[in-house]
Amino acid sequence: MKRFWIGVLITALLTACTDKQPPVPEEDAQVATHVSIFSSKENQKQWVLQAQSVNFENMQSATLKDPRLVLKQDGKDSATVSGNLGKFDYAQQLVTIDGNAIVDSLTERVRITAPRFFYNVETDRIWSDAKTVITRGSARSVALNGIETNSKLTKIIIKKHATQLPANMQELKGTTL
């Protein structure tokens, strides 16, 4: 695990040093641009967290601007999670992506949208805690209290489902299946 964090810091520093932008003022010295944080197992990346800029607030967490989390399966991209802002908590191994958050499955052809998503690195689980919309083709489902799924999006648990039923028999008769 120590090699992982050393790799993250080296990647961040190299990225910050090779960027062709003007020098950063001293009070913002913890900010790096175009950063990738990743984890590998058996010489294959498990996930890659990319961001336009990262503020390494302390050795506990990092704040991400325009984060994009790429989840891998057998060395290939399987899903992405993106949003406006994010946070990576090192101690909890938890990625949070906020603001117009979107999960796109590249293997299952599913798009899931919510205000925010969480990804637990150790358990390889994605979940939301607010109204979440799941779209696959023309089918759309709403989970009022969020969802929980594996990173491959092959099994999605809907915490509270909402389906609109016809209000009366006239609406029911007008509906075709």
Give me 175's structure tokens: 């509906």
pLDDT for res 23: 43
140 vs 59, higher pLDDT = 140
- What mean pLDDT is predicted for residues 55-64? 85
Asked whether the beta carbons of 116 and 94 are under 8 A apart, the reply is no
| Unique residue bearing structure tokens 């029911």 | 172
39 vs 51, higher pLDDT = 51
Read off the pLDDT of residues 60-91 as tens digits, 9 standing for 90 and up: 889 999 999 999 988 899 999 999 999 999 89
101 vs 153, higher pLDDT = 101
Domains (ranges, CATH) in the chain? 55-164 (2.60.450.10)
| Unique residue bearing structure tokens 């689980």 | 125
- What mean pLDDT is predicted for residues 137-155? 90
Asked whether the beta carbons of 86 and 98 are under 8 A apart, the reply is yes
Q: Which amino acid is at 165?
A: L
- What mean pLDDT is predicted for residues 101-125? 94
Give me 88's structure tokens: 């990576």
Kindly tell me the sign of the dihedral angle through the C-alpha atoms of 19, 22, 26, 28.
negative
Q: Which of 13-17, 39-43, 80-84, 106-110 has the lowest mean pLDDT?
A: 13-17
